[in-house]
Structure 1
Amino acid sequence: MHYLTCPQCQSEFATKDKRAKYCSKPCSNSGRAREKQRLVIKTTSSAKKFNPINKTVPIAEINNSVSTLDDDRPFDVTPSDGSPTYIQFTLNGKEYAESGKRWAAETKEKDVITLAGNGCSLQVDKGQLVLRSGFGCSTVPDRERRFSRGVHAIRAIIVLNTTGSLSTAAIQWCADQRIALYILDRDANLTALTHPHTPHVISLRRLQYLVEPVALAKEILSRKLKACQRIKPELAETLTPFFASIGKAEALESLRLFEARAAIIYWTSWNSAIKWKEKDVPVEWKSFTQRASGISGKGYKATHPVNALLNYAYAILAGQVERVLQIAGLDVAVGSLHSDQDGRASLVFDLMEPLRPQVDRVIFSWVAAQRWRRSDFVVDRQGVIRMHPQLARVVVTKALLPDGVIRDEINAYVGLLKRLGDKPLKLATQQTLNI
């Protein structure tokens, strides 16, 4: 491993390639753009100097024009090497590196370990789990951590938007130690998770397939509204009329309509100002007004920094819920409040609903206490906002709920299945069964 100094942000970084010049892609893009700009100005100045038609330009004026490029102004970078679109943005490499250092210093890892950066790895060596942080996401030095079986006190490992390596021995090590392993991509999508091997519970799955979905959806939506009232007591009076409407509903479409109306009231209650270090941030960033993205109309493809934070928080919540559902032997695709859709774990999204307010309280309280910087976030050419990888580490650590909270919600759902399953069910064959 070689430890070098980045000429763009003047920060030390670790790399395996001794020929590397910059610490990260943003610094590389900004540095190359600056060099090109210098070359253009130098060529133009030389042409004017030796052109007999033009007036001679004083040397001091030429020097001043070049020296202005030595400041930290961001450049509109357009990579020409086939780089992905998410690094095609206007960014100050030095500020981006400082942001990485700041958030890395605030990462408090006790029972949750996070990894970010290109080249991270999880391996097993001499019976120990070896975690190596990436070295490309910021100027945070590369670190190696080793953990022994039975004495590690780790309950979860979260890998964020990286290109690295994961051995099968490491997966087995985590499964044996009942450590949850979550892998999220750069768009805050849960791409993989691990859980101990558990047999499928056919009795519960039959209940899932046979119980009336409207009855399940009513209970889930009621639990969600009660959770909103606990987190936001000022909404108790406003949300109370929805319970009567939920009880009278006879179709899933009606319940989804009530949920959408309640969601508007709920998200409006979180409207608040956001503190920024810079004064020239976009007007839309200075306060939180809505959950919907200006691009997708929903939560994904965030166009507001707070929504980008929430996307990562909800991704790790989805991983927690899905993992416990898998351990319980349930079918994660069979939901009720969320419609059936191929490739979607509808039950996961159903049971996330009563838990979301707890995550919202953690994130919004933390957001209000911070003084944010533009370099904490990156905007691609489409307008989608993504956060600094080191900031993402802090977010997922804060958003991870206690395992007991997740288990209680799943147990409540299982109890609901059994209670509703005791009622006679009318099947398509006109036969009546008691499950």
Structure 2
Amino acid sequence: MSKRQFKEPLDCRPKRFTREDGGESVQHFLPMRELRASSNYWLKRLRTSTVITLTGISPSVSVDNDSLVIKQGATLADMAPPTTRYPRGVHRLAWVVIDSPNGFVTIDALHWLESQRIGLMMCSGGNTSVLLQHVDKPIVSLRRAQYSGNVVVIARWVLRGKLAACLDAFPDLPNAQELHELLHGDTLSQLVSVNDLRLVEGRIAGAYWKHHTFTLNHYAKFPPWWSEFDRRSSGIGNTGNRHATHPVNAILNYAYTVVAGIVKRHCALLGLDTAVGSLHADNDRRDSLVWDLLELIRADIDKLLLTWMKSVKWRRTDFLTSERGVVSLDTNLRRVVVEKVSTLQSSVERIVKDYTLFLLRL
């Protein structure tokens, strides 16, 4: 096929085609030089952090001479990734996040991380698994309070905390007056069911996200349907906020997932049952308490990331799109996002402690 006949499509989604042997394949049309440039751009923006994220091909975590040895996975920007050593007791590591389809962690490394009280998180497909969450001194009264506490009272406390966080992070919200009245008035106290509280939360969220609409600064060839961020929802069926089809939502979803893992570990360290929530409905396969407490820090995450996203000039190759249209992040961009939200660890710890004190006072 001549160069004149082939025109690179603007659509970044992979294309399915039939091979000569009759089988089907999926091909990405994004130029390798552009993909490598994006990956290299984000690699250069990584900073020293208390959280290290392993991405790429075949990362590893092991121990050698009593030091933790972390080898990054190969990416388009770094096919010969560096190896970093962390001596026991003189490091600043708080978390190791693994976001890679392969690689390994040795048993020695697991013992080393646990002895140093370093969290280990596995990210995959929008979910997190927190592997190291040893409880030294579980507080039985906390779980008793969780199981016997008034769900409406607890959900009301969560919603008030969310309102306060929104007003603190974004005092110029168009519905700020309404939020102040809900926070300090008697309206929430008069609601007698969790469903009523969820309806109030849904109305608040709708107005909140209408305020956060903006145009992304970007280079040429950027898909036009990505230029405007105007809704916090997926374009795929009735999936809500899951399966992001816009870069902003993809970044937010990834950040929320990582912070949820941090929340889960802090809850587990205190012996809380992460399945027992209030504002989020019970689900046998969901950490409802984690998503409840995440509501108290979402506004901080949003302020941090939305401000940053407005300051970046984006490339189409900063993101990959599945055949279905689901957007994901470049491997090194994911590492940058984790570094940014890792600054909220102290806020997470404070929120979990506030929740435990509230339970014990019930």
- Post-superposition Cα deviations, 1:108-159, rounded to whole Å, max 9, x if no partner, equal 1232212111110101112111111112555443211111101111112111
- Aligned counterparts of 1:339 and 1:111: Cα–Cα separation in 2: 33
Matched, 1:93 2:46: no
Matched, 1:322 2:264: yes
Matched, 1:287 2:225: no
Matched, 1:174 2:116: no
Amino-acid identity (%): 34
Larger Rg: 1
Aligned partners of 1:317 and 1:399 also within 8 Å: yes
Instruction: For CA contacts below 8 A with separation 6 or more, give which structure has more relative contact order.
Output: 2
- Post-superposition Cα deviations, 1:230-258, rounded to whole Å, max 9, x if no partner, equal 11101321323434432210001000000
Matched, 1:237 2:177: yes
Aligned partners of 2:250 and 2:328 also within 8 Å: yes
Aligned partners of 1:313 and 1:400 also within 8 Å: no
* Code of the aligned partner of 1:281: F
Aligned partners of 1:272 and 1:287 also within 8 Å: yes
Matched, 1:196 2:137: no
**Which structure 1 segments of 5+ residues have no match?**
1-40, 42-64, 421-435
Aligned partners of 1:333 and 1:344 also within 8 Å: yes
Q: 2:161 aligns with which of 223, 238, 243?
A: 223
Matched, 1:252 2:252: no
Aligned partners of 1:332 and 1:347 also within 8 Å: yes
* Code of the aligned partner of 1:156: W
- Aligned counterparts of 2:239 and 2:38: Cα–Cα separation in 1: 29
Q: How many residues align?
A: 352
Residue 238 to residue 272, structure 1, CA distance change in 2 (3 Å) = farther
- Aligned counterparts of 2:231 and 2:155: Cα–Cα separation in 1: 25
Which residue of the partner structure matches residue 364 of structure 1? 306
Q: 1:213 aligns with which of 151, 176, 179?
A: 151
* Code of the aligned partner of 2:241: G
TM-score normalised according to structure 2 size: 0.90
Matched, 1:150 2:89: yes
| SS state at 2:313 partner | coil
- Aligned counterparts of 1:220 and 1:378: Cα–Cα separation in 2: 35
TM-score normalised according to structure 1 size: 0.76
Aligned partners of 1:117 and 1:133 also within 8 Å: yes
1:400 is displaced (CA, Å) by 1.8
* Code of the aligned partner of 1:364: L
Choose 373-382 or 107-116, whichever is displaced more. Answer: 107-116
Residue 113 to residue 79, structure 1, CA distance change in 2 (3 Å) = farther
Q: 1:331 aligns with which of 253, 273, 282?
A: 273
1:78 is displaced (CA, Å) by 5.3
Matched, 1:111 2:111: no
CA RMSD of aligned residues (A): 2.5
Residue 193 to residue 269, structure 1, CA distance change in 2 (3 Å) = farther
Matched, 1:308 2:250: yes
1:92 is displaced (CA, Å) by 1.7
1:199 is displaced (CA, Å) by 4.3
Which residue of the partner structure matches residue 16 of structure 1? none
Aligned partners of 1:104 and 1:140 also within 8 Å: no
Residue 89 to residue 105, structure 1, CA distance change in 2 (3 Å) = same
